[in-house]
Structure 1
Amino acid sequence: MTDNVERDIARTRGELSVTLAALERKLAARTIIDEGLNMFKETLGDDYGLNRGLEVVRANPIPVAL
């Protein structure tokens, strides 16, 4: 019985590690920036969205960094 519980705990830890790694990738700053730029491109078109996004970053570098 104890062996089964220990195996279950080990399996759960492994699953949690995979889940946490996926969350870390999803929440990485680069990923968030890329997703934001993609939203600009999809919504406003490649040139306008990218240029407008760069204008916003240049005008507000601190809030964007946060």
Structure 2
Amino acid sequence: MTEDFLIATLNAIASQIKHEDSLIGQRMTWLMMGQAFLFAAFASLIEQVNANAATHVVCDSRGVS
């Protein structure tokens, strides 16, 4: 094997590793965006449930059905 062949092979491997690192970064970005969306939706639902519960408590304490 020649030195040029070894250098070309190492450069190809380095290029593949950089590409895989890029893919991992993109996938992590999509994962974080998805998790943030789901967390925001969950927080919104919890807020609505708490608001409805507070409304029922106020109505019950006034004797309103």
Normalising by structure 1, we get a TM-score of 0.49
- Please say which structure displays the higher CA radius of gyration: 2
Q: Which structure is higher in RCO with an 8 Å CA cutoff and minimum separation 6? A: 1
TM-score, with length taken from structure 2: 0.50
